[in-house]
Structure 1
Amino acid sequence: MLRFMPVGDSMTIGSAGEHTWRHRLWQLLRRTYDPAVTLVGPRETLYDQQSGAPTSLDYADPRFPRAHLAGWGEGWLHMAPLIGDAVRECRPDVLLVSLGLIDLGFYTNAEQTAENVRAFIGAARDADPRIRMVLLPVIPNVRAETDAPFAAQVDLFNVLLAKAAADLDEPRSPILLASPPQSYDIHVDTYDGTHPNASGEHRIAEAFAGAMREAWGIGQPYAVGTV
Protein backbone atom coordinates (compact mmCIF):
# COMPACT_ATOMS: atom_id res chain seq x y z
CA MET A 1 0.00 0.00 0.00
CA LEU A 2 1.41 3.38 -1.01
CA ARG A 3 0.96 6.45 1.15
CA PHE A 4 0.57 9.75 -0.70
CA MET A 5 0.94 13.23 0.82
CA PRO A 6 -0.65 16.09 -1.13
CA VAL A 7 1.33 19.30 -0.58
CA GLY A 8 0.01 22.57 -1.87
CA ASP A 9 -1.66 25.94 -1.58
CA SER A 10 -5.30 27.01 -1.85
CA MET A 11 -5.88 24.84 -4.92
CA THR A 12 -4.93 21.78 -2.87
CA ILE A 13 -6.51 22.50 0.51
CA GLY A 14 -9.76 23.52 -1.18
CA SER A 15 -12.75 25.33 0.29
CA ALA A 16 -15.74 24.20 2.31
CA GLY A 17 -18.23 22.29 0.17
CA GLU A 18 -15.68 21.03 -2.40
CA HIS A 19 -14.48 17.52 -3.21
CA THR A 20 -10.87 18.69 -3.93
CA TRP A 21 -8.50 17.11 -6.45
CA ARG A 22 -7.17 15.04 -3.57
CA HIS A 23 -10.47 13.20 -3.39
CA ARG A 24 -10.62 12.73 -7.17
CA LEU A 25 -7.11 11.23 -7.27
CA TRP A 26 -7.71 8.94 -4.31
CA GLN A 27 -10.85 7.59 -5.98
CA LEU A 28 -8.94 6.84 -9.16
CA LEU A 29 -6.02 5.12 -7.39
CA ARG A 30 -8.19 2.98 -5.14
CA ARG A 31 -10.25 1.89 -8.15
CA THR A 32 -7.43 1.19 -10.61
CA TYR A 33 -4.36 0.55 -8.48
CA ASP A 34 -4.90 -0.50 -4.86
CA PRO A 35 -8.11 -0.33 -2.79
CA ALA A 36 -5.98 0.26 0.32
CA VAL A 37 -4.16 3.34 -1.05
CA THR A 38 -4.28 6.24 1.39
CA LEU A 39 -3.51 9.93 1.79
CA VAL A 40 -1.45 11.14 4.75
CA GLY A 41 -0.41 14.47 6.21
CA PRO A 42 -0.55 16.56 9.39
CA ARG A 43 -3.70 18.51 8.38
CA GLU A 44 -7.15 17.55 7.15
CA THR A 45 -9.31 20.68 7.10
CA LEU A 46 -10.64 22.77 4.23
CA TYR A 47 -10.49 26.55 4.09
CA ASP A 48 -13.64 28.31 5.31
CA GLN A 49 -14.25 31.31 3.05
CA GLN A 50 -16.63 32.86 5.58
CA SER A 51 -14.27 32.85 8.57
CA GLY A 52 -11.08 33.19 6.52
CA ALA A 53 -9.45 30.26 8.30
CA PRO A 54 -8.70 26.56 7.57
CA THR A 55 -11.31 25.27 10.01
CA SER A 56 -13.88 23.41 7.89
CA LEU A 57 -14.47 19.68 7.50
CA ASP A 58 -17.43 20.25 5.18
CA TYR A 59 -16.22 18.13 2.27
CA ALA A 60 -18.67 17.38 -0.54
CA ASP A 61 -17.81 13.74 0.17
CA PRO A 62 -16.07 13.33 3.56
CA ARG A 63 -15.66 9.58 3.15
CA PHE A 64 -12.03 9.54 2.14
CA PRO A 65 -8.62 9.93 3.83
CA ARG A 66 -8.58 13.71 4.03
CA ALA A 67 -5.04 14.19 5.34
CA HIS A 68 -2.73 16.64 3.55
CA LEU A 69 -0.10 19.34 3.98
CA ALA A 70 -1.71 22.28 2.25
CA GLY A 71 -2.61 25.82 3.21
CA TRP A 72 -4.44 28.80 1.79
CA GLY A 73 -1.77 31.39 0.93
CA GLU A 74 1.15 29.02 1.51
CA GLY A 75 3.88 28.25 -1.00
CA TRP A 76 7.32 26.67 -1.37
CA LEU A 77 8.59 29.35 1.03
CA HIS A 78 6.25 28.11 3.75
CA MET A 79 6.37 24.39 3.09
CA ALA A 80 10.15 23.95 2.86
CA PRO A 81 10.59 24.40 6.64
CA LEU A 82 7.64 22.07 7.38
CA ILE A 83 8.20 19.15 5.04
CA GLY A 84 10.90 17.37 7.02
CA ASP A 85 8.80 17.00 10.15
CA ALA A 86 5.72 16.13 8.08
CA VAL A 87 7.57 13.31 6.31
CA ARG A 88 8.98 11.96 9.57
CA GLU A 89 5.59 12.11 11.29
CA CYS A 90 3.32 10.85 8.51
CA ARG A 91 5.69 8.52 6.60
CA PRO A 92 4.49 9.13 3.03
CA ASP A 93 5.95 7.16 0.14
CA VAL A 94 5.11 9.83 -2.45
CA LEU A 95 4.75 13.61 -2.22
CA LEU A 96 2.28 15.19 -4.67
CA VAL A 97 3.30 18.85 -4.80
CA SER A 98 1.42 21.77 -6.35
CA LEU A 99 3.03 25.05 -5.27
CA GLY A 100 4.46 28.25 -6.71
CA LEU A 101 1.62 30.60 -7.61
CA ILE A 102 1.48 32.17 -4.15
CA ASP A 103 5.27 32.49 -3.97
CA LEU A 104 5.48 34.34 -7.27
CA GLY A 105 2.42 36.43 -6.52
CA PHE A 106 3.42 37.68 -3.09
CA TYR A 107 6.77 36.52 -1.73
CA THR A 108 9.62 35.57 -4.05
CA ASN A 109 10.75 35.87 -7.66
CA ALA A 110 11.25 32.87 -9.92
CA GLU A 111 14.88 32.30 -8.96
CA GLN A 112 14.21 32.58 -5.23
CA THR A 113 11.23 30.28 -5.54
CA ALA A 114 13.38 27.71 -7.33
CA GLU A 115 15.88 27.84 -4.47
CA ASN A 116 13.04 27.06 -2.06
CA VAL A 117 12.10 24.09 -4.27
CA ARG A 118 15.62 22.73 -3.81
CA ALA A 119 15.48 23.36 -0.05
CA PHE A 120 12.15 21.52 0.12
CA ILE A 121 13.53 18.51 -1.75
CA GLY A 122 16.61 18.40 0.45
CA ALA A 123 14.56 18.55 3.65
CA ALA A 124 12.20 15.82 2.45
CA ARG A 125 15.14 13.57 1.62
CA ASP A 126 16.82 14.27 4.95
CA ALA A 127 13.68 12.88 6.56
CA ASP A 128 13.39 9.94 4.14
CA PRO A 129 16.17 9.30 1.61
CA ARG A 130 13.79 7.13 -0.47
CA ILE A 131 10.90 9.55 -0.73
CA ARG A 132 9.37 9.91 -4.19
CA MET A 133 8.00 13.21 -5.48
CA VAL A 134 5.70 14.41 -8.25
CA LEU A 135 5.92 18.15 -8.92
CA LEU A 136 3.23 20.08 -10.79
CA PRO A 137 4.21 23.31 -12.60
CA VAL A 138 2.29 26.49 -11.93
CA ILE A 139 -0.86 26.07 -14.00
CA PRO A 140 -2.87 28.73 -15.89
CA ASN A 141 -4.42 31.43 -13.72
CA VAL A 142 -6.20 34.73 -14.21
CA ARG A 143 -3.32 36.95 -13.13
CA ALA A 144 -0.98 35.40 -15.68
CA GLU A 145 -3.61 36.08 -18.34
CA THR A 146 -3.68 39.82 -17.64
CA ASP A 147 -0.27 40.65 -16.10
CA ALA A 148 2.56 40.11 -18.60
CA PRO A 149 5.48 40.50 -16.14
CA PHE A 150 3.85 38.01 -13.78
CA ALA A 151 3.24 35.60 -16.66
CA ALA A 152 6.94 35.85 -17.54
CA GLN A 153 7.86 34.99 -13.96
CA VAL A 154 5.55 31.96 -14.06
CA ASP A 155 7.12 30.78 -17.31
CA LEU A 156 10.63 31.24 -15.92
CA PHE A 157 9.80 29.45 -12.69
CA ASN A 158 8.34 26.50 -14.57
CA VAL A 159 11.60 26.23 -16.54
CA LEU A 160 13.61 26.38 -13.30
CA LEU A 161 11.32 23.80 -11.70
CA ALA A 162 11.95 21.43 -14.59
CA LYS A 163 15.69 22.00 -14.21
CA ALA A 164 15.55 21.30 -10.48
CA ALA A 165 13.61 18.10 -11.09
CA ALA A 166 16.15 16.96 -13.68
CA ASP A 167 19.17 17.97 -11.60
CA LEU A 168 17.95 16.34 -8.38
CA ASP A 169 16.30 13.21 -9.73
CA GLU A 170 17.99 10.05 -8.51
CA PRO A 171 17.10 6.35 -8.60
CA ARG A 172 16.50 5.90 -4.88
CA SER A 173 14.41 9.09 -4.61
CA PRO A 174 12.91 9.78 -8.04
CA ILE A 175 11.34 13.11 -8.95
CA LEU A 176 8.68 13.40 -11.64
CA LEU A 177 7.70 16.64 -13.30
CA ALA A 178 4.01 16.32 -14.15
CA SER A 179 2.69 17.90 -17.31
CA PRO A 180 0.23 20.76 -16.82
CA PRO A 181 -3.40 19.59 -16.91
CA GLN A 182 -4.47 18.96 -20.49
CA SER A 183 -6.72 21.61 -22.03
CA TYR A 184 -6.99 23.46 -18.70
CA ASP A 185 -9.15 26.53 -19.26
CA ILE A 186 -9.46 29.05 -16.44
CA HIS A 187 -12.85 30.11 -17.82
CA VAL A 188 -14.19 26.54 -17.64
CA ASP A 189 -12.14 24.74 -15.01
CA THR A 190 -12.07 27.36 -12.23
CA TYR A 191 -14.70 29.35 -10.36
CA ASP A 192 -12.66 32.55 -10.11
CA GLY A 193 -9.83 32.27 -12.62
CA THR A 194 -7.53 30.45 -10.20
CA HIS A 195 -9.26 27.93 -7.94
CA PRO A 196 -10.51 24.71 -9.54
CA ASN A 197 -14.16 23.82 -9.81
CA ALA A 198 -15.24 20.20 -10.24
CA SER A 199 -13.84 19.90 -13.78
CA GLY A 200 -10.61 21.58 -12.68
CA GLU A 201 -10.26 19.12 -9.80
CA HIS A 202 -10.52 16.25 -12.27
CA ARG A 203 -7.91 17.79 -14.57
CA ILE A 204 -5.39 18.40 -11.77
CA ALA A 205 -5.91 14.87 -10.46
CA GLU A 206 -5.27 13.50 -13.95
CA ALA A 207 -2.05 15.52 -14.24
CA PHE A 208 -0.66 13.74 -11.18
CA ALA A 209 -2.13 10.38 -12.14
CA GLY A 210 -0.78 10.58 -15.69
CA ALA A 211 2.77 11.28 -14.52
CA MET A 212 2.75 8.32 -12.13
CA ARG A 213 1.12 6.03 -14.65
CA GLU A 214 3.69 6.80 -17.34
CA ALA A 215 6.76 6.66 -15.10
CA TRP A 216 5.86 4.12 -12.44
CA GLY A 217 2.92 2.14 -13.83
CA ILE A 218 0.62 3.31 -11.02
CA GLY A 219 -3.08 3.28 -11.89
CA GLN A 220 -4.97 3.31 -15.14
CA PRO A 221 -6.12 6.10 -17.47
CA TYR A 222 -8.38 8.64 -15.83
CA ALA A 223 -11.96 8.89 -17.02
CA VAL A 224 -13.81 11.99 -15.84
CA GLY A 225 -17.16 10.99 -14.39
CA THR A 226 -15.95 7.69 -12.93
CA VAL A 227 -14.19 9.16 -9.89
Structure 2
Amino acid sequence: MLRFMPVGDSMTIGSAGEHTWRYRMWQHLRATHGGPFRLVGPRETLYDQATGAADSYEYADPDFPRAHLAGWGEGWHHLSPLIADAVRDSRADVLLVSLGLIDLGFYTNATQTSENVHAFIAAARSANPRISMVLLPVIPNIRAESDAPFAREVALFNDLLAKTAANLDEPGSPLLLASLPHSYDIHADTYDGTHPNAAGEHKLASAFAEAMHQGWGVGGPYESHLAESA
Protein backbone atom coordinates (compact mmCIF):
# COMPACT_ATOMS: atom_id res chain seq x y z
CA MET A 1 0.00 0.00 0.00
CA LEU A 2 1.33 3.42 -0.96
CA ARG A 3 1.00 6.09 1.71
CA PHE A 4 0.80 9.67 0.45
CA MET A 5 1.28 12.61 2.82
CA PRO A 6 0.11 16.07 1.67
CA VAL A 7 2.42 18.71 3.17
CA GLY A 8 1.72 22.40 2.87
CA ASP A 9 0.48 25.74 4.07
CA SER A 10 -2.97 27.35 3.96
CA MET A 11 -3.55 26.22 0.37
CA THR A 12 -3.18 22.61 1.50
CA ILE A 13 -4.92 22.59 4.88
CA GLY A 14 -7.83 24.53 3.41
CA SER A 15 -10.57 26.24 5.40
CA ALA A 16 -14.00 25.32 6.68
CA GLY A 17 -16.51 24.54 3.96
CA GLU A 18 -13.95 23.57 1.30
CA HIS A 19 -13.17 20.27 -0.40
CA THR A 20 -9.36 20.96 -0.57
CA TRP A 21 -6.98 19.72 -3.26
CA ARG A 22 -6.27 16.79 -0.95
CA TYR A 23 -9.81 15.57 -1.57
CA ARG A 24 -9.39 16.05 -5.33
CA MET A 25 -6.15 14.04 -5.21
CA TRP A 26 -7.87 11.25 -3.29
CA GLN A 27 -10.61 11.14 -5.92
CA HIS A 28 -8.02 11.02 -8.69
CA LEU A 29 -5.95 8.25 -7.10
CA ARG A 30 -9.05 6.24 -6.30
CA ALA A 31 -10.00 6.39 -9.99
CA THR A 32 -6.56 5.83 -11.55
CA HIS A 33 -4.05 4.31 -9.14
CA GLY A 34 -5.12 0.70 -9.53
CA GLY A 35 -3.86 -0.40 -6.12
CA PRO A 36 -4.33 0.24 -2.41
CA PHE A 37 -3.27 3.64 -1.07
CA ARG A 38 -3.88 5.94 1.87
CA LEU A 39 -3.53 9.62 2.68
CA VAL A 40 -1.53 9.86 5.91
CA GLY A 41 -0.24 12.48 8.31
CA PRO A 42 -0.55 13.69 11.90
CA ARG A 43 -3.37 16.21 11.31
CA GLU A 44 -6.90 16.02 9.95
CA THR A 45 -8.54 19.40 10.45
CA LEU A 46 -9.26 22.45 8.35
CA TYR A 47 -8.61 26.04 9.37
CA ASP A 48 -11.62 28.01 10.60
CA GLN A 49 -11.26 31.58 9.35
CA ALA A 50 -14.03 32.73 11.68
CA THR A 51 -12.20 31.65 14.83
CA GLY A 52 -8.60 31.68 13.65
CA ALA A 53 -8.05 28.09 14.80
CA ALA A 54 -7.17 24.93 12.87
CA ASP A 55 -9.87 22.87 14.55
CA SER A 56 -12.61 22.52 11.94
CA TYR A 57 -13.90 19.26 10.50
CA GLU A 58 -16.43 21.06 8.28
CA TYR A 59 -15.26 19.65 4.96
CA ALA A 60 -17.57 20.07 1.98
CA ASP A 61 -17.37 16.27 1.77
CA PRO A 62 -15.86 14.77 4.94
CA ASP A 63 -16.02 11.19 3.70
CA PHE A 64 -12.38 10.74 2.68
CA PRO A 65 -9.03 10.09 4.42
CA ARG A 66 -8.30 13.61 5.66
CA ALA A 67 -4.81 13.08 7.12
CA HIS A 68 -2.13 15.62 6.25
CA LEU A 69 0.74 17.74 7.56
CA ALA A 70 -0.33 21.26 6.69
CA GLY A 71 -0.93 24.47 8.58
CA TRP A 72 -2.32 27.91 7.96
CA GLY A 73 0.64 30.28 7.99
CA GLU A 74 3.23 27.49 8.06
CA GLY A 75 6.12 26.94 5.66
CA TRP A 76 9.38 25.05 5.17
CA HIS A 77 10.59 27.01 8.20
CA HIS A 78 7.89 25.45 10.41
CA LEU A 79 7.48 21.96 8.99
CA SER A 80 11.12 20.94 8.49
CA PRO A 81 11.49 20.24 12.23
CA LEU A 82 8.29 18.14 12.18
CA ILE A 83 8.70 16.07 9.04
CA ALA A 84 10.92 13.27 10.40
CA ASP A 85 8.48 12.32 13.15
CA ALA A 86 5.52 12.69 10.78
CA VAL A 87 7.11 10.37 8.20
CA ARG A 88 8.21 7.87 10.82
CA ASP A 89 4.87 7.72 12.61
CA SER A 90 2.73 7.54 9.47
CA ARG A 91 5.14 5.32 7.48
CA ALA A 92 4.70 7.69 4.54
CA ASP A 93 6.03 6.61 1.15
CA VAL A 94 5.35 9.76 -0.90
CA LEU A 95 5.32 13.41 0.19
CA LEU A 96 3.28 15.88 -1.88
CA VAL A 97 4.77 19.21 -0.83
CA SER A 98 3.45 22.71 -1.52
CA LEU A 99 5.40 25.23 0.58
CA GLY A 100 7.32 28.47 0.24
CA LEU A 101 4.86 31.35 0.00
CA ILE A 102 4.72 31.89 3.76
CA ASP A 103 8.49 31.57 4.15
CA LEU A 104 9.23 34.16 1.49
CA GLY A 105 6.46 36.43 2.66
CA PHE A 106 7.36 36.58 6.34
CA TYR A 107 10.41 34.58 7.43
CA THR A 108 13.25 33.86 5.01
CA ASN A 109 14.62 35.02 1.67
CA ALA A 110 14.95 32.68 -1.29
CA THR A 111 18.41 31.39 -0.34
CA GLN A 112 17.46 30.80 3.29
CA THR A 113 14.24 29.09 2.23
CA SER A 114 16.23 26.83 -0.07
CA GLU A 115 18.43 25.86 2.88
CA ASN A 116 15.28 24.85 4.77
CA VAL A 117 14.25 22.72 1.79
CA HIS A 118 17.56 20.87 2.09
CA ALA A 119 16.96 20.38 5.82
CA PHE A 120 13.42 19.11 5.15
CA ILE A 121 14.61 16.56 2.59
CA ALA A 122 17.39 15.32 4.86
CA ALA A 123 15.00 14.98 7.80
CA ALA A 124 12.41 13.10 5.74
CA ARG A 125 15.08 10.71 4.48
CA SER A 126 16.37 10.16 8.01
CA ALA A 127 12.94 8.73 8.85
CA ASN A 128 12.50 6.79 5.60
CA PRO A 129 15.60 6.48 3.39
CA ARG A 130 13.38 5.43 0.48
CA ILE A 131 10.90 8.30 0.74
CA SER A 132 9.71 9.84 -2.55
CA MET A 133 8.84 13.53 -2.81
CA VAL A 134 6.99 15.73 -5.28
CA LEU A 135 7.85 19.41 -4.81
CA LEU A 136 5.51 22.10 -6.14
CA PRO A 137 7.00 25.53 -6.88
CA VAL A 138 5.42 28.58 -5.30
CA ILE A 139 2.35 29.15 -7.44
CA PRO A 140 1.08 32.53 -8.70
CA ASN A 141 -0.37 34.72 -5.97
CA ILE A 142 -1.73 38.22 -5.61
CA ARG A 143 1.22 39.65 -3.69
CA ALA A 144 3.65 38.69 -6.45
CA GLU A 145 1.40 40.51 -8.92
CA SER A 146 1.89 43.86 -7.19
CA ASP A 147 5.12 43.51 -5.17
CA ALA A 148 8.06 43.32 -7.58
CA PRO A 149 10.78 42.53 -4.99
CA PHE A 150 8.65 39.70 -3.61
CA ALA A 151 7.99 38.40 -7.11
CA ARG A 152 11.75 38.32 -7.73
CA GLU A 153 12.28 36.29 -4.53
CA VAL A 154 9.58 33.85 -5.62
CA ALA A 155 11.19 33.44 -9.03
CA LEU A 156 14.64 32.96 -7.48
CA PHE A 157 13.32 30.42 -4.99
CA ASN A 158 11.56 28.46 -7.72
CA ASP A 159 14.84 28.32 -9.64
CA LEU A 160 16.66 27.12 -6.52
CA LEU A 161 13.95 24.53 -5.87
CA ALA A 162 14.39 23.14 -9.38
CA LYS A 163 18.15 22.86 -8.84
CA THR A 164 17.61 21.22 -5.46
CA ALA A 165 15.26 18.63 -6.95
CA ALA A 166 17.82 17.84 -9.66
CA ASN A 167 20.85 17.80 -7.38
CA LEU A 168 19.36 15.79 -4.52
CA ASP A 169 17.39 13.30 -6.59
CA GLU A 170 18.45 9.74 -5.79
CA PRO A 171 17.41 6.44 -7.39
CA GLY A 172 16.29 5.07 -4.04
CA SER A 173 14.67 8.31 -2.85
CA PRO A 174 13.46 10.20 -5.91
CA LEU A 175 12.56 13.88 -6.04
CA LEU A 176 10.15 15.24 -8.64
CA LEU A 177 9.64 18.90 -9.41
CA ALA A 178 6.01 19.42 -10.35
CA SER A 179 5.18 21.97 -13.02
CA LEU A 180 3.21 25.04 -12.10
CA PRO A 181 -0.50 24.29 -12.56
CA HIS A 182 -1.48 24.66 -16.19
CA SER A 183 -3.29 27.93 -16.96
CA TYR A 184 -3.51 28.83 -13.27
CA ASP A 185 -5.22 32.22 -12.95
CA ILE A 186 -5.37 33.89 -9.55
CA HIS A 187 -8.48 35.79 -10.62
CA ALA A 188 -10.38 32.67 -11.72
CA ASP A 189 -8.84 29.86 -9.64
CA THR A 190 -8.73 31.50 -6.19
CA TYR A 191 -11.25 33.27 -4.01
CA ASP A 192 -8.85 35.93 -2.73
CA GLY A 193 -5.84 35.92 -5.04
CA THR A 194 -4.05 33.21 -3.07
CA HIS A 195 -6.30 30.42 -1.78
CA PRO A 196 -7.79 28.02 -4.34
CA ASN A 197 -11.46 27.75 -5.10
CA ALA A 198 -12.87 24.52 -6.57
CA ALA A 199 -11.19 25.12 -9.93
CA GLY A 200 -7.91 25.89 -8.22
CA GLU A 201 -8.15 22.76 -6.09
CA HIS A 202 -8.40 20.66 -9.23
CA LYS A 203 -5.41 22.42 -10.77
CA LEU A 204 -3.22 21.93 -7.70
CA ALA A 205 -4.15 18.26 -7.54
CA SER A 206 -3.48 18.01 -11.26
CA ALA A 207 0.04 19.42 -10.86
CA PHE A 208 0.95 16.64 -8.43
CA ALA A 209 -0.93 13.97 -10.35
CA GLU A 210 0.70 14.79 -13.68
CA ALA A 211 4.18 14.84 -12.11
CA MET A 212 3.68 11.38 -10.60
CA HIS A 213 2.07 9.95 -13.71
CA GLN A 214 4.74 11.27 -16.08
CA GLY A 215 7.71 10.79 -13.76
CA TRP A 216 6.89 7.53 -12.01
CA GLY A 217 3.95 5.98 -13.82
CA VAL A 218 1.77 6.42 -10.72
CA GLY A 219 -1.91 6.93 -11.40
CA GLY A 220 -3.11 8.34 -14.70
CA PRO A 221 -3.62 11.66 -16.47
CA TYR A 222 -5.74 14.14 -14.56
CA GLU A 223 -7.40 15.96 -17.47
CA SER A 224 -10.66 14.05 -17.25
CA HIS A 225 -11.13 15.17 -13.67
CA LEU A 226 -10.87 18.89 -14.44
CA ALA A 227 -14.33 18.82 -15.92
CA GLU A 228 -15.87 17.46 -12.72
CA SER A 229 -18.25 19.69 -10.86
CA ALA A 230 -17.19 21.18 -7.53
- The bucket for the TM-score relative to the shorter chain is over 0.9
Q: Distance in 2 between matches of 1:130 and 1:35?
A: 19
2:183 alignment partner, SS class: coil
Give 1:221 deviation, angstroms: 1.3
Q: Partner of 2:23 in structure 1?
A: 23
1:121 aligns with 2:132: no
Structure 1 unmatched runs, 5+? none
Q: Partner of 1:174 in structure 2?
A: 174
Alignment length, in residue pairs?
Answer: 227
Q: Deviations over 1:98-117 (max 9, x none)?
A: 00000000000000000000
Give 1:34 deviation, angstroms: 3.1
Q: Distance in 1 between matches of 2:67 and 2:35?
A: 17
Describe how 1:133-212 pairs up with structure 2 within 5 A.
133-212=133-212
Q: Partner of 2:38 in structure 1?
A: 38
Q: Distance in 1 between matches of 2:34 and 2:67?
A: 18
1:225 aligns with 2:227: yes
Structure 2 unmatched runs, 5+? none
Describe how 1:61-72 pairs up with structure 2 within 5 A.
61-72=61-72
Describe how 1:86-97 pairs up with structure 2 within 5 A.
86-97=86-97
1:65 alignment partner, SS class: coil
Paired residue type of 2:100 = G
Paired residue type of 1:9 = D
- Cα RMSD (Å) of the superposition? 0.9
Give 1:35 deviation, angstroms: 5.7
- Contact 1:8–1:70 (8 Å) recurs in 2: yes
1:176 alignment partner, SS class: strand
Q: Percent identity?
A: 74
Q: Deviations over 1:197-218 (max 9, x none)?
A: 0000000000000000001111
Q: Structure 1 length as normaliser, TM-score?
A: 0.98
Give 1:118 deviation, angstroms: 0.1
Q: Structure 2 length as normaliser, TM-score?
A: 0.97
Runs in 1 of length 4+ with deviation above 6 angstroms? none
Paired residue type of 1:81 = P
1:200 alignment partner, SS class: helix
